[in-house]
Structure 1
Amino acid sequence: MNTSIPEHDINVINKTDVKKMPIMVSLIMGVFFAILNETLLNVAYTDLMGTFQITASTVQWLTTGFMLVVGVLVPISALLVQWFTTRQMFIGAMIIFTTGTILCAVAPTFSVLFVGRLIQAAGTGLLLPVMMNTILFLFPPEKRGGAMGMVGLVIMFAPAIGPTLSGLIIESLNWRWLFIIVIPFALISITFAFVYLKNVSNVTRPRVDVLSIILSTLGFGGMVFGFSSVGEGEAGWSSPEVYLPIIVSLVSLTLFITRQLKLKDPILEFRVFKSPMFSLTTALLIIMMMTMFSTMIILPLFLQGPLALAAAAAGLALLPGGILNGLMSPIAGKIFDRFGPRVLVIPGTLLLVCVMFLFTNVSADTPVYMFIILHSLLMIGVAMVMMPGQTNGLNQLPPDYYPHGTAVINTLMQISGAIGIALFIGVMSAGQARYLEGVSDPSSQLALSNALTAGVQRSFQVGFIFAIVAFILALFMKRTVIPVTEKE
């Protein structure tokens, strides 16, 4: 791959003259459909099980495998963005994603569909860090809030509308159209990027440490694999498929972090945690991702269970929250640029506390409109916290740490999402089991419905505790000072 460094450096020097809007459109278009694809299959699993004659535990690998690949690639993206230009990274990642999408659309067997899904994940795992790094290089700290608000629209709105679109498409067409409709937009994004996308970051080409890549893969991949496997068997947390990958992950991550602190050119620079606001932001985002992703799984289960809604109707019930989140993200970004993070993050986490408390009291008698209202308030609170907090934390880092900061945050967000789903589903299942132990006929429909209600209430009680912790962390958030440009 022949990269002209002098020409690239000229682009970096004159980046104030670069037209930012075409670059943003190129990035947002591609990333939107890549992230939309993460939840687009949620309602299609029943159809896929029937088509390929597979079990629920097998079809779940379409999600587990996706998260596993993304969890492995995001940390390595900090190295890749220093080896390849913005154009090479984005266009290459989009071509990989499009190839996987086409393979999924024509897959004759489940194995081919699974391979296509993994290829999709490889492209997706590289796209988001590229977009965030480009924003950090293009926009000065005082203007990043608005730009990151647009990123928030992509990150939150795309997965939020995925189940709704999936339900509507499955009702009128078949599961292959979930991939077919993405292909033309992916091709348009690639074409647009060829024409308008410019190189805005420095290509330094640091030394590649193979051992670090192996330890990173085992560490982050093992963590996602272990937590994602909790719900697949009856043994749960005591299953070797759960605790062995987690043990390997913890040992590998310990060795990985120790090695990164000793290397001159680490894959991930963990010294980013020396910045107090970055550390606080990371902890806050982990809680938000655990809460949001688990709620997006639990609410459809409850709506389709005790409330007996169809899959498409359950997806539509979550649509207003997704739309409000998308609309709120750019607004929150503008407010952040003008007033800083506290006016958004503190009320946002307080709103999260209130919503989680109200969710602890839901039952089969709770009207659907209450779920729509509560979910909408939850997504507004998420929009007020996620991107403003993330922007504030990254603003404290020197430019040399941008790739590492974005990679660390995206990696931990991906892992926390998997952990959150496993934890909340595990709490919900335990609550169900405990309820059924005390009834005379645990196989009756009423008992099963009440058990699910008890489990959901129990999981939201845990979410309420997390929300309180998030609110306490938000009280310590301060607007960051623009750092020096060199590493300390």
Structure 2
Amino acid sequence: MSQSQKINTRPEHPILSLLGVLIGGFVGMFSETSLNIALPSIMKAFNIETGTAQWLVTGYMLVIAIVLPLSSLLTKHFSTRGLVRFGLLDFIVGSAISALAMNFPMLLAGRMIQGIATGLILPLMFSIAMRIFPPDKLGAALGMAALVIMFAPAIGPTISGIILGALSWRYIFWSFIIFLLIGLFIMEKNLTNVFEVTKPKIDWLAIALSTISFGLIVFGISFLSKNIATALIALVVGIIFLVVYIRQQLHAKTPTLDFSVLKTPEFLTGSVLVMLNFGITLSAMYLLPMYLQNGLGVAVALTGVVMLPGGIINAAVSFGAGRAYDKIGAKMMSRLGFLISIVGSAMFLFSNSNSSLGYIIVAHIILMIGVPLAMSPSQTYGLNSLDAYQSADGSAIINTFQQVIGAVATGIATILLSTGQANYFANGGHSAKLAFTNGAHYGFMFTLILAVFGFILAFRVHNKSKETVDVEETEEATSKDKEAVTE
């Protein structure tokens, strides 16, 4: 093994080692929601319809869903530094293409290139943290990663709104590049290789099944509000391929993605809680900016300002939740987080076209307290139940299905939004603002249902993972043996 491939899982400054990856992950997640508020401007610039413009979001998530399941395999074939370097440079190239786009196909191509980078960096962010931080600091480390996952999409509409108010949508992509260059510099200075490059035989059938299944599922979900027949066909075929893929991987000697980790109850529970949480975030962040503009008549730039307090609170709670996990565990935090999310979602459900901005800000803040309070502990609880060699697979699985659930949540929210508007007009309504408010209520009902399911499932969470309990029982037995010998 060459000098550049030497493994160092205990760097002198683990936070600095992870920081460049965190910045890349932040930009990737920020990118998921930042364009929602810019779509009207892009539609006007290229003279395209809503369905076409939506591909900037759909195409991005489609590529992420395809790349994510391959991340664990890639860590076995390429050095950690090489993978992160490629991801950051790839995102810079994609952002530059989008910023300079002369037509919509060029803009979309740039977005899909960015999706490759995000699909690679997101799981690396968690699996690298699992390798370089000691167990007693793992909650805080994964809390930083969770901060990226939750804070970035929450703050996306705010920053984009401010940029659009002063400049143009192209500067959203230029802002990506600034952060990515900083992340690349920090990565080159501090990141060590933490995965052993074993270069196992590549299972091309597994890669094909993974690409087809996740690609069709995300495509089908995204088309539910556009062409129901096409969407259902894609979903059914995608699910069939997914079942075949999972069965094939469970029986493979060297699986591309080790789905056997789902047999660990703590990991399965934690993973589902993370997915529900992400669904709450993306559905709310999709609905809220449009509700503010179309339901309450708030200007684009002011929309970003209204959502800023919630974004700041989200960051603070995300950071604190990871540290709190190290002290009190996931049990109470996950339950309390989903309970608070229920309150925030319900407040949006009871808002109307005459609601004050103060009411909306408070509801958003409450939701942004609840979501990260449950997110980091749930993710740490799940990943901490796995053995070290399973961390890359566990991270890839969580992040893959998280993106699928994100697409599901956004797709369902879109359908409910349209249904609510149609029902309002069908019942004799004439106000576009009231119609949009009614549609937003339908969408926020879905957000509330996700929070309720999460709260119920959180009662399956216990403060100690199976491995921790086993270790403590072993230590107790050893201690008793020593006492017996002494006596």
The alpha carbon displacement at 1:172 in A equals 1.9
Deviates more, 1:307-316 or 1:183-192: 183-192
- Residue 47 to residue 428, structure 1, CA distance change in 2 (3 Å): closer
Extract unaligned runs of 5+ from structure 1: none
Any conservation in 2 of the 1:302–1:452 contact (CA below 8 Å)?
Answer: yes
CA displacement, residues 290-344 of structure 1 (integer Å, 9 cap, x when unaligned): 2211111111221112211011212221111111111111111111001111131
Any conservation in 2 of the 1:147–1:330 contact (CA below 8 Å)?
Answer: no
The alpha carbon displacement at 1:6 in A equals 7.4
How far apart are the structure 1 equivalents of 2:277 and 2:467? Answer: 25
- Residue 51 to residue 435, structure 1, CA distance change in 2 (3 Å): closer
How many residue pairs were aligned? 469
- Residue 176 to residue 7, structure 1, CA distance change in 2 (3 Å): closer
SS at match of 1:230: coil
Match of 1:253 in 2: 242
Match of 1:16 in 2: 10
Match of 2:372 in 1: 383
Match of 1:465 in 2: 449
Deviates more, 1:306-315 or 1:40-49: 40-49
How far apart are the structure 2 equivalents of 1:424 and 1:123? Answer: 26
The alpha carbon displacement at 1:453 in A equals 2.4
Any conservation in 1 of the 2:11–2:192 contact (CA below 8 Å)?
Answer: no
The alpha carbon displacement at 1:106 in A equals 1.6
2:204 aligned partner, one-letter code: V
1:256 aligned partner, one-letter code: Y
Residue 50 (1) aligns with residue 44 (2) = yes
1:357 aligned partner, one-letter code: A
Residue 164 (1) aligns with residue 182 (2) = no
Deviates more, 1:81-90 or 1:16-25: 16-25
The alpha carbon displacement at 1:204 in A equals 2.3
The alpha carbon displacement at 1:169 in A equals 1.5
How far apart are the structure 2 equivalents of 1:358 and 1:162? Answer: 22
The alpha carbon displacement at 1:124 in A equals 1.2
How far apart are the structure 2 equivalents of 1:364 and 1:450? Answer: 6
Any residues of structure 2 matched to 1:276-291 within 5 Å, and which? 276-291=265-280
Any conservation in 2 of the 1:148–1:330 contact (CA below 8 Å)?
Answer: no
Any conservation in 1 of the 2:283–2:443 contact (CA below 8 Å)?
Answer: no
Deviates more, 1:154-163 or 1:388-397: 154-163
How far apart are the structure 2 equivalents of 1:29 and 1:356? Answer: 29
- Residue 463 to residue 167, structure 1, CA distance change in 2 (3 Å): closer
Which of 441, 451, 458 is matched with 1:474 structurally? 458
Match of 2:436 in 1: 452
The alpha carbon displacement at 1:7 in A equals 6.4
CA displacement, residues 332-376 of structure 1 (integer Å, 9 cap, x when unaligned): 111100111113111111112222223221111221111111111
- Residue 395 to residue 429, structure 1, CA distance change in 2 (3 Å): same
Match of 2:340 in 1: 351
Match of 1:184 in 2: 178
Extract unaligned runs of 5+ from structure 2: 472-487
Residue 40 (1) aligns with residue 30 (2) = no
Match of 1:239 in 2: 229
The alpha carbon displacement at 1:471 in A equals 0.9
Any conservation in 1 of the 2:343–2:367 contact (CA below 8 Å)?
Answer: no
The alpha carbon displacement at 1:31 in A equals 2.3
SS at match of 2:201: coil
The alpha carbon displacement at 1:254 in A equals 1.0
1:73 aligned partner, one-letter code: V
How far apart are the structure 1 equivalents of 2:327 and 2:66? Answer: 36
Any conservation in 2 of the 1:148–1:387 contact (CA below 8 Å)?
Answer: yes
Match of 2:415 in 1: 426
Which of 127, 142, 147 is matched with 1:133 structurally? 127
How far apart are the structure 2 equivalents of 1:139 and 1:20? Answer: 7
Match of 1:101 in 2: 95
How far apart are the structure 2 equivalents of 1:374 and 1:184? Answer: 32
Match of 2:117 in 1: 123
Any residues of structure 2 matched to 1:13-412 within 5 Å, and which? 15-231=9-225, 233=226, 235=227, 238-240=228-230, 242-412=231-401
TM-score normalised by L of structure 1: 0.92
2:467 aligned partner, one-letter code: I
How far apart are the structure 2 equivalents of 1:416 and 1:154? Answer: 17
Any conservation in 2 of the 1:141–1:482 contact (CA below 8 Å)?
Answer: no
Deviates more, 1:419-428 or 1:85-94: 419-428
